[in-house]
Amino acid sequence: MFSTNGRFVFYICWLLTISAANTRIKTLPTKQFPREFSFGAATAAYQIEGAWDVDGKGPSIWDYLVHTDPGHITDKSNGDIADNSYYNYKRDIEMLRELGVSHYRFSISWTRILPFGRANYVNQRGIDYYNKLIDELIANDIVPFTTIYHWDLPQILQEHGGWMNEKIVDWFGDYARILFQNFGDRVKLWTTINEPFVHCYFSYGYGVHPPRIRSPGVQFYECGRQILLANARAYHIYNDEFRSTQGGKVGIGLNSEHVFPASDSKDDIEGAKDYLAIHFGQYMHPIFSKSGNYPQRMIHRVQAASTAQGHNSSRLRGFNREQITYIKGSADFLGLNHYYTKYVYRNSSVIGVFEVPSMDDDAFADSYLDQSWPSSHAPWIREYGPGLHHLLVHIKDTYGNPLVYITENGVSTTAGLNDHTRVSYYRSYLSAVLEALAEGCNVQGYFAWSLMDNYEWSHGYTHRFGLYEVDWEDPERTRTPRKSAFVYREIIRSRTIDYNYNPDPYAGSTSTITSSLLVLVIVVLAGLIS
């Protein structure tokens, strides 16, 4: 406890901190995030929880892969312990409070709730864990933003065909219903499925993620088709059975880069449109467009390529009218995951580049990153914030300005607390969000990826995306805020982006200048009081 004099010193220091912060804000441009704009941080169950076989949890496709073929992972690691958030969730929430975020996006492990994949056996200990997490969030005034599925399919369902089995639409719906029943009284924001394009591309397209099937021209599309129907099933279950009493929202999480044509040639312009139609429109158009169904240019491209390859019908299995209607409008909001921008081109150099058949060959357009943009530890990410602005405007103009949460945005660095690359990246992309808001884009919130370093799928622990650094050599998995954590906290607090704000993460302070001033004041006041 503080003594009377101690409280006085603390109060004076607090006033000086606020005064210094306000002085900084007065020198900034007037553009600010609205008070109702939500800031958060994001994670995913397999990437942070650990406790892979604890308290009745069953194996997922990732558990199966890392234990049967660890050499497939870059550093031969696994998520058995990861950040140990199953036990450290209170520290995670403490970190969220330190950042000052209003929302936390996390996913639920399907096999922690349904160890055998199906709804005929529910693991109460899994329910108990997420109840504790959700209750702790709410007790700390943090809104839970819950993802139902983030790539960790039960292994037993994969052995029955996984996303190739049409029954998975019912399996997923049953799973979603159990989550709504158990957590929907407190969770009001749901994302059904995270990044279906990436999931299908790496899992059924090019065999990088489990179940490691290589079929980029057939099963890639079939995976996406089932996911669209599964998302719709979960949405309609909520709409019909829970919305009237729970009053929440259900959306889907889609990833998309922004693309520019590499030149003003007709080929490059059309190539960029076809590329975006397959990469983003494949999921966006059936749900958010007025007409529903796949984008017409995607249907045309796959049909034309299929015919040229000697197929009697398109490799893209279509929807009937009832299914088109069922899928259309099956999201209350778009969860947008965005990391980079590309240039797209279509010329003679594209001939013979892609596997046949494949979605890449169907689009018949290639892409590249501008090498002049700032690089990162991840070779697939270069900083170009304006691309997010252009993408949000494209969504507004093309799809009727739907409600958007930016559910992932971030960059990979190496170990260390002075993550200048991430600071620059966040400032650039959040500036782009401000520009989009000024143009009337219906963006409600932003989630930094990620709250802390975590298991990055097939890359293992070789990439660090965290606002907080995690010491994986420490059994306690100690978390330490990076410079970006202090910068993000100040953006949230002030609702502005101060490019002059330069905290020192090793000093553990919000501002080197402010800290020095506070030390001086404390010394002077202590002398006066004594």
State the catalytic residue, choosing from 49, 222, 408, 490.
408
Q: What are phi and psi of 8, to 5 degrees?
A: -65, -45
Q: Are 220 and 205 in contact (CB under 8 A)?
A: yes
Q: Are 273 and 285 in contact (CB under 8 A)?
A: no
Helix (H, G, I), strand (E, B) or coil at 140: coil
* 400/332 Cα distance (integer angstroms): 13
326 CB contacts (<8 Å, ≥6 apart)?
229, 232, 236
State the catalytic residue, choosing from 195, 222, 383, 490.
195
DSSP type of residue 294: S
252 CB contacts (<8 Å, ≥6 apart)?
191, 192, 193, 196, 231, 283, 287, 330, 331, 334, 335
Q: Which residues does residue 245 pair with via DSSP β-bridges, in sequence order? A: none
Nearest to 176 by CA among 148, 199, 200, 203: 148
* 172/229 Cα distance (integer angstroms): 10
* 201/222 Cα distance (integer angstroms): 11
Q: Which residues does residue 194 pair with via DSSP β-bridges, in sequence order? A: 253
35 CB contacts (<8 Å, ≥6 apart)?
495
Q: Are 450 and 464 in contact (CB under 8 A)?
A: no
Q: Which residues does residue 103 pair with via DSSP β-bridges, in sequence order? A: 40, 143
- Asked if 195 is an active-site residue, the reply is yes
Residue with tokens 């293992």: 460
* 357/479 Cα distance (integer angstroms): 45
Tokens of 227: 């996911």
Other C-beta atoms closer than 10 Å to the C-beta of 74 total 14
Report which secondary-structure segment, H or E, holds 252.
strand 249-255
* 98/102 Cα distance (integer angstroms): 11
What is the CA angle 374-284-192, rounded to 5? 95
Q: Side-chain half-sphere of 107: how many Cα atoms within 13 Å?
A: 27
Tokens of 138: 């709410």
* 277/285 Cα distance (integer angstroms): 8
CA 42 to chain centre: 6
- Asked if 456 is an active-site residue, the reply is no
CA 44 to chain centre: 8
Question: What is the set of active-site residues?
Answer: 195, 408
